[in-house]
Structures are given as structure tokens and as C-alpha cells.
Amino acid sequence: MDETGVQTVPNILPKHVAPKGKKEVAKAVAAEQGQTVSAVCAVSPIGYFVPPFFIYARKREDRLLIKGDPLGCEMAVTDKRYKNTPTFIKWLNHFKKYAKPSDSNPILLILDNHVSHTSREAVTFAKSNNIHLLTLPPHSSHKTQPLDRCIFRPLKAYYDVAVDSWDVSHPGETFSVYNVAESFKIAFEKASSVENAAEAFKTTGIFPFDANIFSDADFLPSKVTDQSPG
């Protein structure tokens, strides 16, 4: 599992095709960077995707934020849209609902070593529900996290296109956080393919397991970054 952020204003605006003879295409673009929403995702090597879990920077939860999403997504609110221990516990309950771990079928959950993932509450919940937590080495997710390798990049590209399409079809209206889940759903359905999932785990050497898929040079920049000055 991992999380990524998407904005109410696309990072890269898709090109628009103008009618022949027309040099400009009118399209209003928000001047600000927009609001960011975090989306927590999880996928298995055989292509099973847990419905997205959205985290909004708000004081109060509003279910209208995920209206019209048939994927079975869930949401939480925090002060800064980042996971904390209560939010992660809520996500674990969401994960449990769809992954269905049991005594005879325990689940290995691979994730980074964020403090919320290793809290006593999270570890206790996981152990009690047949979920085995395995944290990735620090500063390695760009190589070892399947979602980072093969899912999030196309997902964000599809999301930007979906937001742009919404803007074009809703002239005079502003895309807001209340529209994020709907556009994310469009992108998620395109990016969450069995092929992408299989390639994601293969390129990280997790499944099929390949202990030699990386060399020391692959992580050299991280080692340099970790060195203390002086």
C-alpha cells in the first residue's frame, strides 16, 4: 500500500485540438495551485485493487466528497491531509473489508515505515486480524514500492486528463475537492489493470521474488543523501 496526492488543478494540462482555422482555444485555468487530496491505494500481484481511500484536509467529514463513487471507496479527514495513526487504523479496517484476511489466509501488507504504520495500535490491530506488516527500507520506495513503479504515474496522467475533461464540459464552473473522487475513479479504472499490477511487482523483485533485481548502484544516491554533513 502507498498514498499519492492529486490536485484540483492538473499538473500538466492536456493539449486541445482547435477547429481548422481557429488559432486559439478558450479555456479558463485556475491561477492557484489548487487543493491537494491524498489517495491511499493497495494492490496485489494478481491484480486485485482495494478501493481507494481518500484523505482530505478538513475539520469535519462530509460524505458528499465521495458521492457517486461506485468503487466502494472510503474517506477520512485530518488537519493536513496526511495519515496519522487513527486514519491508518481506519484504512486498515477498509483494507480488511476487501482483502478478507483470515487464520487460513493471512495477508502480507507491504508499506513504507511511516510512523503511523508502526504504531502500537496499528501493529496490534494487524496482528489481531491476520495482517502481517512488512516495511520497506527507508528511501527506497522509488525502486521497491510497486505502486510507485507502475501504477501511480499512469494514474496521475489519467487523472489530469479527467479533470481537464471535466473543466471543458463544465464551462464557468470550478473543479473542487467535491469533484476529486469522481475524476479519480475514472483514472483509477484505467490504471488498475492486471498487467500493470503484475509488472509493478515484477519490477520490484517482490513477485516473482528476485533477490538480484537491484545492484548496490541502484541505491547509491540514497546512501549519499543519508550522510551527515561534516
Could you give all domains of the chain from N- to C-terminal order, each with its CATH number? 2-18+30-210 (3.30.420.10)
- Answer whether residue 26 shows pLDDT above 60: no
Please report, rounded to a whole number, the percentage of residues in the chain having pLDDT higher than 90.
77
Q: What are residue 50's DSSP bridge partners? A: 42
- Cα Rg for the chain, rounded, in angstroms? 20
Q: Distance between terminal CA atoms of the chain?
A: 36
pLDDT tens for 4-25 read: 999 998 776 555 444 445 444 4
Mean pLDDT of 101-130: 97
DSSP letters along 134-203, please? EEPPTT-HHHH-HIIIIIHHHHHHHHHHHHHHHHHHSTT----GGGHHHHHHHHHHHH--HHHHHHHHHH
Residue holding cell 537491484? Answer: 214
156-203 confidence digits (pLDDT tens): 999 999 999 999 999 999 999 999 999 999 999 999 999 999 999 999
Give the up-direction half-sphere exposure of residue 42: CA atoms within 13 A in the CB hemisphere. 21
